[in-house]
Amino acid sequence: MSTEPSPRGHLPVVEPPVNPDTAPYWRGAAEGRLVLPRCDRCGFVIWYPREFCPECAATEVTWFEATGRGTVYSFTVTRRAHGAWGEVAPFVIAYVELTEGPRVLTNIVGIDPDDDRLAIGLEVTAVWEPTPEGQGILRFAPT
């Protein structure tokens, strides 16, 4: 996993709200690592990170470092937006299906939105765009 920004520059970032339930995820993100919870009871890998399993309602989870790899499940190119996002349009919004199972709503960076390689099934890897306070915002780039 990388902390390099996309070649087109940084997409807008907002400092994330960190609470006790999500703190392990954000600590990993600040270090450029994708850390996720896995349910100790049923094995479900949880996204969005939290301290309980949405699959079986267990409260016993173990945090682990995920591979940061996945494939584009679905995507769209946003060509018009307002504010800071309008300044960086066009950009890609996508669902990435992680190797570990969950689907993550994210941005695809490091590829031109009009590139023919941008397609469902594209293999991607996690990259982190830093916030002003030093957190990392999860994005994905082609492998």
Domain positions in the chain are: 17-66, 68-143
Q: State pLDDT tens for residues 44-63.
A: 999 999 999 999 999 999 99
Full-prediction pTM beyond 0.85? yes
Q: Is 104 helix (H, G, I), strand (E, B) or coil?
A: strand
CA 5, 30, 63, 57 torsion-angle sign: negative
Strands 69-78 and 91-98: antiparallel
Could you tell me the pLDDT band of residue 136, with boundaries at 50, 70 and 90?
confident
| CB-CB contact of 139 with 106 (8 Å) | yes
Distance CA 44, CA 100 (A): 9
Reported CATH class of domain 68-143: mainly beta
pLDDT (tens digit per residue) in 77-104: 999 999 999 999 999 999 999 999 999 9
